[in-house]
């Protein structure tokens, strides 16, 4: 899968995804370190990448403005839950490897995940 990570995603999470074989670029790598949430989401959609973030504001952006996306994964993660969130993220990606996440908002937290569509 192809991902764009927001500025707030831990480097260890980026490394974890790359080690699983996913194509991951950081917002910073494409000059978006100061971009608005809207700009980052639009860029992810343009590049057909699923956005990974820890920023809950993307939920409001998705459900209030109905901006099209290739999918958003919100990681409810803290340093002490890092491993359990990585395990749930891996489980989720394995279970849904062939799914289309267009306009989906996915929340990953220790031991569970939820999927909502914005339309």
Cα 52–Cα 43–Cα 118 angle in degrees, nearest 5: 60
Q: Quick one: pLDDT band at residue 12, thresholds 50, 70, 90? A: very high
Task: Report pLDDT for 119.
Answer: 66
Parse the chain into domains and list their residue ranges: 2-117
Mean pLDDT of the region 38-63: 92
Band of pLDDT at residue 105, cut at 50, 70 and 90: very high
Q: Is the pLDDT of residue 78 over 80?
A: no
At residue 82, the pLDDT reads: 84
Mean per-residue pLDDT of the chain? 91
Pick the CATH number of 2-117 from 3.30.420, 2.60.40, 1.10.3470, 3.40.50: 3.40.50
How far, in Å, CA of 25 to CA of 51, rounded?
10
pTM, 2 dp: 0.92
């Amino acid at each position: 899968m192809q991902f764009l990570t927001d500025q707030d995603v831990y480097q260890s999470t980026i490394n974890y995804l790359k080690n699983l074989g996913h194509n991951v670029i950081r917002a910073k790598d494409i000059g978006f370190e100061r971009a608005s949430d809207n700009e980052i989401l639009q860029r992810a959609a343009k590049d057909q990448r699923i956005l990974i973030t820890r920023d809950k504001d993307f939920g409001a952006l998705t459900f209030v403005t109905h901006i099209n996306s290739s999918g958003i994964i919100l990681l409810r993660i803290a340093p002490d839950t890092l491993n359990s969130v990585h395990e749930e993220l891996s489980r989720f990606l394995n279970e849904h490897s062939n799914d289309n996440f267009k306009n989906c908002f996915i929340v990953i937290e220790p031991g569970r995940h939820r999927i909502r569509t914005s339309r």
